[in-house]
């Protein structure tokens, strides 16, 4: 005897096919797109990359070559030292003029600069470093104080007619350090504390004093009247630097 099961009837909607109903329920929708403005000043603000027009001005300005008449190389550019205001020929001529204390040309030192003095001071400190003495900070400080001291002394002597400034004092004192540089180089081969180094120090101090005094007298007004006092001030400055070499 067969067993019967009570199966509920399946009722399909009008149309007959259940697959069509599922397809109607699962119809793909287009991705969300914001509304496009009617007129946009910027093309890419429309969020439509494919339809954005290419700007002719942008492509021409970014990818075009150099304009006509503009050189693509740097042959016409001035040298770097000239742009920085460093005249190597002038520095060399000023340095060589210090080597002739009896025929020094004061016209070369009318234009003051600090490039040559800085190199001479660094050379002095380098020779002192080879002797086991670190004096770079002391040298820069003493040169600055010496320039201020010489400026105050000269302008007190000349009064209102004095035309010497601190910048020129720094330049003259720095260039006249050349004999001191030579002394520091020779002191590397001489015994410390001997009579030889004392005698050489006296010669180089007098050399620097004479050159610095002559330049100050010829370049500054009213300097010839107080030559002796100016020479004494220069002598104190350079004998101070000689003590760094001797001791």
Return the SS3 of 140: helix
How many C-beta atoms lie closer than 10 Å to residue 117's C-beta? 24
Angle between helices 136-158 and 115-130 (to 10 degrees): 140
Which pLDDT belongs to residue 25? Answer: 53
Q: Mean pLDDT lowest for which of 5-9, 53-57, 170-174, 237-241?
A: 53-57
* 163 DSSP 8-state letter: -
Global pTM reads 0.68
* Rounded distance between C-alpha atoms, residue 107 and residue 57, angstroms: 58
Kindly tell me if the per-residue pLDDT of 51 is higher than 60. no
| H/E segment holding residue 19 | helix 18-25
Q: How much is the pLDDT for 143?
A: 96
Q: Give the range among 93-107, 129-143, 152-166, 202-216 with minimum mean pLDDT.
A: 152-166
- Binning pLDDT at 50, 70 and 90, where does residue 47 land? very low
Contact 147, 173 (CB under 8 A): yes
The rounded mean pLDDT for the chain is: 79
Does the pLDDT of residue 181 top 80, yes or no? yes
The Cα-based distances of 132 to 7, 142, 179, 183, 200 in angstroms read 112, 19, 20, 16, 20
The pLDDT > 90 percentage for the chain reads 51
Quick: pLDDT tens for 59-110: 444 445 555 544 446 666 767 766 766 889 999 999 999 998 888 889 999 9
Question: What's the CA gap between 232 and 187, in Å, rounded?
Answer: 25
Q: For the chain, how big is the Rg over CA atoms in Å?
A: 43
Evaluate whether 217 touches 230 at the Cβ level (below 8 Å): yes
Q: Which residue has the higher pLDDT, 232 or 27?
A: 232
Q: What is the pLDDT, as a whole number, of residue 52?
A: 47
Asked if 147 contacts 169 with a C-beta cutoff of 8 angstroms, the reply is yes
**Backbone dihedral angles phi then psi of residue 119, each to the nearest 5 degrees:** -65, -40
Q: Report which of 211, 188, 183 is spatially closest to residue 97, judged by C-alpha positions.
A: 211
Q: Which of 31-45, 85-99, 128-142, 192-206 has the lowest mean pLDDT?
A: 31-45
């Amino acid at each position: 005897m067969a067993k019967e099961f009570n199966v509920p009837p399946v009722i399909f909607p009008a149309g007959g096919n259940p697959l069509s109903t599922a397809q109607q329920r699962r119809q793909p929708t287009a991705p969300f797109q914001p509304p496009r403005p009617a007129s946009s000043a910027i093309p890419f603000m429309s969020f439509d990359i494919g339809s954005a027009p290419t700007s002719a001005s942008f492509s021409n300005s970014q990818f075009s070559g150099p304009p006509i008449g503009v050189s693509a190389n740097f042959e016409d550019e001035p040298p770097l030292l000239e742009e920085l205001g460093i005249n190597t020929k002038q520095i060399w001529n000023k340095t060589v003029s210090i080597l002739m204390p009896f025929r020094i040309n004061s016209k070369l030192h009318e234009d003051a600069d600090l490039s040559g003095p800085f190199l001479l001071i660094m050379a002095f400190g380098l020779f002192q470093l080879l002797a086991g003495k670190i004096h770079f900070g002391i040298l820069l400080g003493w040169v600055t104080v010496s320039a201020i001291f010489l400026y105050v002394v000269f302008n007190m002597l000349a009064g209102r007619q004095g035309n010497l400034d601190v910048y020129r004092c720094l330049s003259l004192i720095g260039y006249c350090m050349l004999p001191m540089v030579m002394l520091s180089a020779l002191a590397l081969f001489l015994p410390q504390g001997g009579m030889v180094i004392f005698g050489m120090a006296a010669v180089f101090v007098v050399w620097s004093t004479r050159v610095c005094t002559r330049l100050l007298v010829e370049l500054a007004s009213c300097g010839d009247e107080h030559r002796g006092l100016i020479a004494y001030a220069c002598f104190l400055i350079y004998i101070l630097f000689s003590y760094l070499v001797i001791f």
